[in-house]
Structure 1
């Protein structure tokens, strides 16, 4: 079984250096490495020469104005492998990461995707209570991730965390990635949710193993705003979320979903209850977040109304 690793880089050389060292320390060595780099990244190539050298083949793919999804498609198209493992440059997989991935795919042929815990570097999550629900989307559209929390055991899920996931390459090529998702510079929101729901719709199974751990050191994004609030991010997250939920939920579920997101919402996309909850603390900023979420919801509904355009992976020439 050949396993390639695909890294989404964000021009964070110290983070990339840590990641490359953890990959080279894997008990089960990867077969090839593909890295999506920012156009202004001038250090990753030197890091690869110094840390990876000629031990394994590697390929650098620049994320241009076409967006990160297109760069991912280019990388996937170049891979002669059985399994693709995804992670980010601000992550550090534990030494048994690739070994656990290989074991699941070898022992469970019905599984097309496997992932594990996205453990924040802060130790405060080590002693938190176990959660019962991981990687699920409710019938009314509530997205429950919880991949950063401990849980009682391995289980089937609806979607995986993009920082700690692996999929069978042939399934990725057959299913494709959704290019209607909005992105911002080096970040695309909900691509793993879109892929997970597309696989679930086909009746394919994904597996979550909490012992398959990737430690996460969330790094700074190029497009972060100085005031700590990123208006475009809120709109685009809400747009992607709304579009995907309307696309995959039942007719009754769509109605219930729209009521839920408008009345309740989430910490990333405020509804009325979230607006009232955060108003005493954030004041007018809470109202600004609420309006941005509404704009994103409206745009997501507009996109959903048009015929689906899930782009299947095709030969993409450089």
Structure 2
């Protein structure tokens, strides 16, 4: 079985160096590594040559104005393999990562995708609470990730974490990634969710293994993000989320989803309840976040209803 690794880079050389060392320390080496790099990234090519060299075949794919999802599709089109493992440059897979991936796909031919725990390095694992639900989307559109939390057993899920996921190449190429998703520089929000929901629609199995761990060192995005509030991220995140849920939920679920989104929302996309919750702390900023989430929801509805007219749903 051939296993390739696809790395989404963000022009963070020190992070990339840590990741490449982790890949070279794998018990089971990757058959090939494909790295998406930013056009302004001048250090990663030298790092890759130094740390990988001729030990493992590698390909650098430079991102362009078409966005990170398009770049991922380009890399997938260059691959000749059975399985594609995804991670980010600010992550460090444990030494048994690829070994676990290969064993799972060999011994579980029924699975189309496999993922594991995305453990933030800034937390203390021993104090994190155990969770019963991982990678699920409720009938009314509530998205429950929890890929960073410990759980007691492996299980079927609706979607995986893009920092720690692997897919059969044939199914991945056949399903494709959704080019209608909004993105900003190196970030495309919820592409894993869109892929997971598409695979669910096909009726294939996605498996979550909590003992398959990738340590995550969340790095600063090479983008417009400042230390303060980033309104574009709120809008585009809400737009992608709404578009995906409208596309894949049943009719009644879509209606319930919009009611839940407007009345409750989440930490990333405020609804009325979140607005009231954070108003004492954030004041007018909370209202701005609520407005931006509404704008994103509206754009997401437009993306869903008019999928071939992207001009009307930008921003």
TM class, shorter-length? over 0.9
Between stretches 67-76 and 221-230, larger displacement belongs to 221-230
Aligned to 1:92: 92
Q: Distance in 1 between matches of 2:174 and 2:128?
A: 39
Give deviations 1:195-239, integer Å, cap 9, x for gaps. Answer: 000000000010000000000000000225334211000000000
Q: Secondary structure at the match of 1:47?
A: helix
Aligned to 1:102: 102
Q: Distance in 1 between matches of 2:225 and 2:84?
A: 33
Aligned to 2:123: 123
Q: Secondary structure at the match of 1:219?
A: coil
Aligned to 1:54: 54
What is the CA-CA distance between 1:37 and the residue it aligns to? 0.2
What is the CA-CA distance between 1:77 and the residue it aligns to? 0.3
TM-score, L = length of structure 2:
0.96
Give deviations 1:230-277, integer Å, cap 9, x for gaps. Answer: 100000000000000011111110010000000000000000000000
Q: Distance in 2 between matches of 1:158 and 1:65?
A: 30
What is the CA-CA distance between 1:308 and the residue it aligns to? 7.5
Which residues in structure 2 correspond to 1:4-19 (within 5 Å)?
4-19=4-19
Q: Does the CA contact (< 8 Å) of 2:36 and 2:62 recur in 1?
A: yes
Segments ≥4 residues shifted beyond 3 Å: none
Aligned to 1:139: 139
Q: Distance in 2 between matches of 1:11 and 1:274?
A: 34
The two structures, once aligned, show a CA RMSD in angstroms of 1.1
Aligned to 1:208: 208
Aligned to 2:229: 229
Give unmatched runs, 5+ long, in structure 2. Answer: 310-315
Give unmatched runs, 5+ long, in structure 1. Answer: 310-318
Which residues in structure 2 correspond to 1:238-277 (within 5 Å)?
238-277=238-277
Q: Does the CA contact (< 8 Å) of 2:90 and 2:216 recur in 1?
A: yes
Q: Distance in 1 between matches of 2:276 and 2:97?
A: 42
Give deviations 1:108-152, integer Å, cap 9, x for gaps. Answer: 101000000000002334322210000000000000000000001
